[in-house]
Amino acid sequence: MRVPDWEEYLKQVLSHVKFKYDHNSIYFELQNHMEDRYEDFITEGMEEDEAQKAVLACMGDADEIGEELNQAHSPVLGWIWRILKDVLIVLIIINILPMFSLVLTSVISIFDMYRVKNDSPLVYTIDVDYKEKVYDTTYMIDKILYYEDNTLEIRYATWTNPFSDSIKWNHSLGIQHVYVDEVEIARGGGGWKGVGYFARGYSCQDDVPFDATRVAFSVAINNEVSIDLTEGRVLADES
Amino acid sequence: MNRKKEIIIFIIIIPLLLFSFLRLGEYRFSAEGIFYACERGLGYGPSEKILGEYELEEGRKLIVGKCQGNLSVIPVQRAFGVLWKLKSGGIVNGLVDCEKVVTAKLFRGGKVMGLTSEKEISEVYCRIEYGDYGNDENPSIQEMTMTVNEDGFFYGIWSTEILDDTFQHIAYIEGSNSNGKVIYQDGMTSEGIYYNNGIIEVE
């Protein structure tokens, strides 16, 4: 079936629509509608020329339709819509990478576990329920472990809200001092911490005697926190 | 969907996406915004006052603030023409301890700056020793005098040609009052007298 060419009629309609970015969609919408009507008339038994005239008659005056469409497709609203849409697309694109990073680090942090020290038997553990928020980062100390090779280990986690108003640094907790009564017997130590908005880590200090009474570490700048090592000890034999 | 409804939805979603991008990407609309965000991230501040903003390379600058008697030194850079972010690469000094009566520190790009807690000091003199590593015995010397502002802050550029990977340190600092009288000394004088924060330690 030969479909008539509505080009002239459609051009006449579109000449009234000032918002040019909508011309394509209006053109195809009207064209499809006219073709559907045309096919209907042919199916009903009309001759091709007759059907073509009937379609144009049904559609009405091109200038009138054009004016109505121009009002419906207001250029002011059209431009606002188009600019906002483009801005939205750009924002979605530039958010893809940070969002991907956020999801990835979140997934990693779910599976991120504390390391298990296998080279020395455990002597005692202390459950520590310490939590402190410094600006946008929350520091949580879970447990202190003491091993037969005189290693003291602190297991902790940090959480920083990814949408908070701060640059995200990978903060770790380092053991600053270990005391027997008030005598400092060791300072400094090693450790490791995962990367992410939520991350677990540990901090170790070697050569810590069994009778150490206190451990101190720094939480952010100029904020030293002390934990008593004499209370809450659960000996490995008991557990 | 009605175009008006779509516009309303766009107006709601766009600020959320913008906020998300700025926060996750660590961008801000101003250099000061990044400066304060960096301070929060490092766990101190905010600085009571921004003492100065100094141009580094093109599109980058060093912002210096005063935070509880210390310096807060953070480099920032432009991003996408209108935004700011933390300078990529290099060092973020963050909080610089100024525990002495006059503290002066050297920074990248031949900059020297510092703070004094003594109100009477109006001028600070520094003797800077520098040279190639391994040649510490015979360092080159650069002297400079800086004016102290009402915040106790002083700043200067001691060299525009010095390479950052050379050995350099402030060997001696002198603080003078408005009459030109030296009222504070720190470090080793050229005569070999050693002062520690204004007190003679070794002669």
pLDDT in tens, A68-92: 999 888 889 999 999 999 999 999 9
Cβ of A55: how many Cβ atoms within 10 Å? 22
Q: Which domain holds residue B104?
A: 99-203
Confidence of residue A221 (pLDDT cuts 50, 70, 90): confident
Of A66, A87, A107, at which residue does a domain stop?
A107
Nearest-CB residue to A221 (from B6, B34, B42): B42
Q: Read off the pLDDT of each residue in A189-215 and give the average, rounded to a whole number.
A: 89
Using alpha carbons, select from B119, B104, B111, B114 the residue that is nearest to residue B150.
B119
- Decide if A220 touches B, using CB distance below 8 A: yes
Q: Read off the pLDDT of each residue in A162-191 and give the average, rounded to a whole number.
A: 87
pLDDT at A187 over 90: no
pLDDT at A147 over 90: yes
Q: According to the model, what pLDDT value does residue A158 have?
A: 93
pLDDT (tens digit, 9 = 90+) per residue, A46-58?
998 899 999 999 9
Chain A residue with minimum CA distance to B16: A91
Chain B contact set for A220 (CB, 8 A):
42-44
Q: Read off the pLDDT of each residue in B191-195 and give the average, rounded to a whole number.
A: 89
Q: Which residue has the higher pLDDT, B161 or A83?
A: A83
Same-domain check for residues A169 and A122: yes
In chain B, the percentage of residues whose pLDDT exceeds 90 is 72
Same-domain check for residues A160 and A92: no
> Quick check: A135 and B6 CB within 8 A?
no
CB B175 within 8 A of CB B116: yes
Beta strands in A34-189 (DSSP E): 122-134, 137-147, 152-160, 174-180, 183-187
Q: Which of A 151-180 lie inside 8 A of B, CB atoms? A: 162-169, 171
Q: How many domains in chain B?
A: 2
- Decide if A188 touches B, using CB distance below 8 A: no
Confidence of residue A3 (pLDDT cuts 50, 70, 90): low
Residue B190 lies in a domain: yes
Confidence of residue B133 (pLDDT cuts 50, 70, 90): confident
Residue B183 lies in a domain: yes
Using alpha carbons, select from A28, A26, A36, A103 the residue that is nearest to residue A71.
A26
Residue B14 lies in a domain: no
Chain A residue with minimum CA distance to B19: A163
CB A183 within 8 A of CB A208: no
> Quick check: B41 and A166 CB within 8 A?
yes
Q: According to the model, what pLDDT value does residue B2 have?
A: 83
Q: Read off the pLDDT of each residue in A122-130 and give the average, rounded to a whole number.
A: 94
Q: Which residues contact A111 (CB under 8 A, 6 or more apart)?
A: none
In chain A, the percentage of residues whose pLDDT exceeds 70 is 97
Nearest-CB residue to B17 (from A92, A135, A165): A92
Residue A87 lies in a domain: yes
Q: Read off the pLDDT of each residue in A124-131 and give the average, rounded to a whole number.
A: 94
> Quick check: A88 and B14 CB within 8 A?
yes
Residue A32 lies in a domain: yes
Chain B contact set for A77 (CB, 8 A):
3-4, 7
Q: Which domain holds residue A220?
A: 115-235
| C-alpha dihedral (A31, A32, A33, A38), degrees to nearest 10 | 90
- Provide residues of B within 8 Å CB-CB of chain A: 3-4, 6-7, 10-11, 13-14, 17-21, 23-26, 34, 37-38, 40-44, 86, 95
Chain A residue with minimum CA distance to B87: A167
DSSP 8-state class, residue A20: G
> Quick check: A102 and B42 CB within 8 A?
no
Interface test with A, best of B10, B70, B83 (most A CBs within 10 A): B10
Q: Which residues contact A219 (CB under 8 A, 6 or more apart)?
A: A132, A134, A139, A173, A225
Same-domain check for residues A121 and A201: yes
Q: Which residues contact B101 (CB under 8 A, 6 or more apart)?
A: B116, B117, B118, B121, B175, B184, B186, B197, B198
pLDDT (tens digit, 9 = 90+) per residue, B15-65?
999 999 999 999 999 999 999 999 999 999 899 999 999 988 888 999 999
Q: Is A104 helix (H, G, I), strand (E, B) or coil?
A: helix
Residue B4 lies in a domain: no
Same-domain check for residues B34 and B126: no
Q: According to the model, what pLDDT value does residue A67 have?
A: 93
Same-domain check for residues A161 and A182: yes
Nearest-CB residue to A165 (from B7, B40, B43): B40
Nearest-CB residue to B40 (from A85, A88, A166): A166
CB A1 within 8 A of CB A39: yes
Same-domain check for residues B111 and B199: yes
Using CA atoms, how far apart are residues A10 and A19, in angstroms rounded to an integer?
15
Chain A residue with minimum CA distance to B17: A91
> Quick check: A98 and B4 CB within 8 A?
no
Of A65, A85, A107, at which residue does a domain stop?
A107
Same-domain check for residues A86 and A141: no
**Which segment, A201-205, B82-86, B164-168, B188-192, is predicted with the most confidence on average?**
B82-86
Same-domain check for residues B147 and B182: yes
Same-domain check for residues B121 and B163: yes
Q: Which residues contact B170 (CB under 8 A, 6 or more apart)?
A: B104, B105, B106, B112, B126, B127, B128, B129, B187
Q: Which residues of A205-228 are buried (b: 16+ CB within 10 A; e: fewer)?
A: beebeeebbbbebebbbeeebebe
Same-domain check for residues A125 and A223: yes
Q: In what order do the strands lie in the sheet with B194-196?
A: B140-147, B123-131, B167-176, B182-188, B194-196, B199-202
Q: How many domains in chain A?
A: 2
pLDDT at B135 over 80: no
ipTM of the modeled complex: 0.80
Using CA atoms, how far apart are residues B171 and A239, in angstroms rounded to an integer?
59
Residue with tokens 């009138």: A64
pLDDT at A236 over 90: no
Chain A contact set for B86 (CB, 8 A):
167
Interface test with B, best of A25, A105, A221 (most B CBs within 10 A): A221
Among the residue ranges A12-16, A62-66, A104-108, B151-155, the one predicted with the least confidence is A104-108
Q: According to the model, what pLDDT value does residue B75 have?
A: 95
pLDDT at A5 over 80: no
CB B82 within 8 A of CB B139: no
Q: According to the model, what pLDDT value does residue B203 have?
A: 46
Of A88, A107, A126, at which residue does a domain stop?
A107
Dig out the tokens for A157 from the structure.
Answer: 């986690």
Region of B35 please: left (phi>0), alpha (psi -120 to 50) or beta: alpha
Residue A123 lies in a domain: yes
Per-position DSSP letters for B47-97, written without gaps between them: -SEEEEEEE-STTEEEEEEEETTEEEEEEEEEETTTEEEEPSSS---EEE-
Nearest-CB residue to A84 (from B11, B24, B40): B11
Using CA atoms, how far apart are residues A146 and A236, in angstroms rounded to an integer?
10
Residue A138 lies in a domain: yes
